[in-house]
Structure 1
Amino acid sequence: MNVLSQIINGLHIGSIYALVALGYSMVYGIIKLINFAHGEIIMVGAYAVYVMLVLVGTPLWIAVLVSLLFCACMGMLIERVAYRRLRNKNAPRISLLITAIGVSIFLQNLAQTIFSSSGKSFPNVMPQGSIRLGDAEISALTLITLATAAVLMIGLQLLVSKTKMGKAMRAVSEDAGAAKLMGINTNVTITWTFAIGSALASIAALLYSSAYPLVTPYMGSTLGLKAFIAAVLGGIGSVPGAMLGGFLLGIAETLAKGYISSVVADAIVFGILILVLLIRPAGLLGRNVKEKV
């Protein structure tokens, strides 16, 4: 397989990483929390689409809509039940982190209890076919994934920069206390941030399950970790950084699998995380922030 094909494949998986990384960046940017339960939202979204398509028999657009709404509600519920009381009591950040890990384990075991640990074959619902670009062949799924990711990323950037809700998110991110004094409902803003990030994860779940058609209770763990690395690489808390980090990480992983070894590809991905933290902890597009003491 030539270099162009490898890069196209890297952009395919990288765009999925980027969609998931956006959820990490949005939540971290506002409440400085690494929501490690975010990876399990992908799993929940995949199972929601599977249930609607296979068990209920709905058309694809209804399955996608149900998955999107279900994941958004799940994100809001997790924020309301697991995180809000700790935030309001100014609990140490380690408490929030431990809670996030606990929610992740709970969702994994809940899915295993409902669906069993055996994987479910995801139905082939995406258009087939491909086009040629020079010596490379681009599948319809890759085109759909890239186009969907681009539209959602542009839409999110416009939402954050142009809308009233986006301005509230930026205000809470800068100074939650001052934002509250200015009349912004910080709890509502944070809840909507979780909802939007979780909705993006549900779309990523559909795209990922279409490319790797096996849904399991643990599918979100590795994908979530790689998306977190993408967020750190681009600059966690930065929407453009999450996009850039996802694309770069996808390309690096694909090139490593194609030209080095698929066995060590994951090691290279996590090695990138170590290098970024050593050389530029704020990420490529992140900025160092000095905390007042």
Structure 2
Amino acid sequence: MSAFVLHLVGAFSDIDRQDVVDAVGQGAVYALMAVGIGLVFGVLRLVNFAYGQLIMAGAYALAFASDRGWSVTVGILFCFGVVLALTLAMDRLVFRPLRTQSPAVMLVATFAVAFLLQNAALLIDVRDGTIGEPAASISSLNQAITVWGVDVRKIVLVAIAVAAFSLAALALLLAKTTIGLQMRAAAADFPTARLLGVRANRVIGFAVLLSGLLAATVAVILTVETPFVDPTFGLKPTIVVLVGVVVGGIDRLWTATLGGFVIGFASDIIYAALPTDQTVFLDSVLFALVIVVLLVRPAGLFARGRSSLVERV
């Protein structure tokens, strides 16, 4: 084991600029996922484990559009429509009726929704006798271009740009708009916010809608990177991001986002450092580092002082 660790440390010296750029792109995608998860947690105190299945549904929509020969633009719009419809249906049919129940009940409900969507996708997928659908029409976005002597995939640049724009727009929305201030108030103290006139359904619905928009965006990016969709599509990234959110500090949106970025960046850098025949150890190395971080900083890597549930956004 010590020899493996020494070999891993030595391998980091071989990482080049292209590996770093790819890792930043991966971190940007995971940061977007962390924001989507953090928005719902902020107003509902709920970790939505069905988030990965929303991404999967969007990926299947892209594969369906590709199979029908639709243009890339129409396919992306269809993806957004499917994900947003499922997100709003989840809020209206599951989150809203169970809002007064305990967090454990709502958590179990998200697991049920996740498995429902995954098995629905499986039943639809196996109609042709195979599992998995290609989404070839958007694969052109994964071509590489040369930037300052580094071959960078177009989708990596798109992911970084979209993440930067989305985070900046979200920061402005939370700080400068009425609905954003209401979301912050609801995240800080929901009962008091309602007594002061904040409309619960409106605030929660808006947060869930933003979460769905981010899920659809991630679905497009991940499908471009891996244009083959199956019922487990998006599941592993969601699990990794959930871990990153906890590592960063789930109590605040910005710490959760940083946690998502860091774990995405770290996973790509470690993967690049590992020899091809040892990439199977990626998850072991990554989660071992997570355990170390949580032992040292149980409140989160970016949390200030003790963990607090007062300010989450």
Partner secondary structure for residue 152 of structure 2: strand
How many percent of aligned residue pairs carry the same amino acid? 30
Asked if 1:220 is matched to 2:234, the reply is yes
Kindly report structure 1 stretches of 4+ aligned residues shifted beyond 6 Å. none
Alignment partner of 2:43 out of 30, 34, 39: 30
Say whether residues 1:8 and 2:21 are aligned partners: yes
In the alignment, does 2:113 pair up with 1:96?
no
Unaligned segments of structure 2, at least 5 residues = 1-13
Are 2:151 and 1:151 aligned?
A: no
Higher deviation after alignment, 38-47 or 280-289 = 280-289
Corresponding position of 1:131: 146
Residue correspondence of structure 1 range 1-293 to structure 2 within 5 A: 2-55=15-68, 57-88=69-100, 91-116=101-126, 118-123=131-136, 124-126=139-141, 128-134=143-149, 136-260=150-274, 261-287=278-304, 288-289=307-308
Measured at CA, do residues 237 and 199 of structure 1 come closer, stay the same or move farther in structure 2, by a change above 3 Å?
farther
Q: Distance in 1 between matches of 2:105 and 2:177?
A: 33
Amino acid at match of 2:299: A
Residues 128 and 6 (structure 1), Cα distance of their counterparts in 2 relative to 1, 3 Å cut: closer
3-state DSSP of counterpart to 2:146? strand
More deviation in 265-274 or 98-107? 265-274
RMSD, aligned α-carbons: 2.0
Shift of residue 42, structure 1, vs aligned partner: 0.6
Distance of 1:120 and 1:49 partners within structure 2: 10
- Unaligned 5+ segments in structure 1 are none
The 1-side partners of 2:85 and 2:178 are apart by: 21
Whether contact under 8 Å (2:64, 2:135) holds in the other structure is no
CA apart distance, 1:171 = 1.0
CA-CA distance at 1:94 after TM superposition: 1.4
Question: How far apart, CA to CA, are the structure 2 residues paired with 1:254 and 1:290?
Answer: 31
**Greater CA drift, 106-115 or 123-132:** 123-132
Give the Å deviation of 1:272: 3.5
Give the direction of change, closer, same or farther, for the CA distance of 1:163–1:70 in structure 2 (3 Å limit). farther
The 2-side partners of 1:128 and 1:12 are apart by 14
Q: For residues 72 and 285 of structure 1, do their structure 2 counterparts lie closer, same or farther at Cα, with a shift above 3 Å needed? A: farther
Report the Cα offset of residue 213 of structure 1: 1.6
User: How much has 1:290 moved relative to structure 2?
Assistant: 6.1
CA distance in 2, matches of 1:237, 1:196: 18
Once the two structures are TM-superposed, the CA of residue 151 in structure 1 deviates from its matched residue by 1.2
- Decide whether aligned partners of structure 1 residues 206 and 170 sit closer, same or farther in structure 2, where only a CA change above 3 A counts: same
User: Size of the alignment, in residue pairs?
Assistant: 287
**Secondary structure at the counterpart of residue 283 of structure 1:** coil
Letter paired with 2:280: V
Aligned counterparts of 2:110 and 2:75: Cα–Cα separation in 1: 27
Task: State TM-score, norm by structure 2.
Answer: 0.85
Moved more, 62-71 or 33-42: 62-71
Cα gap change, 1:144 to 1:192, in 2 (>3 Å): same
1:290 & 1:215 partners in 2: Cα distance?
Answer: 38
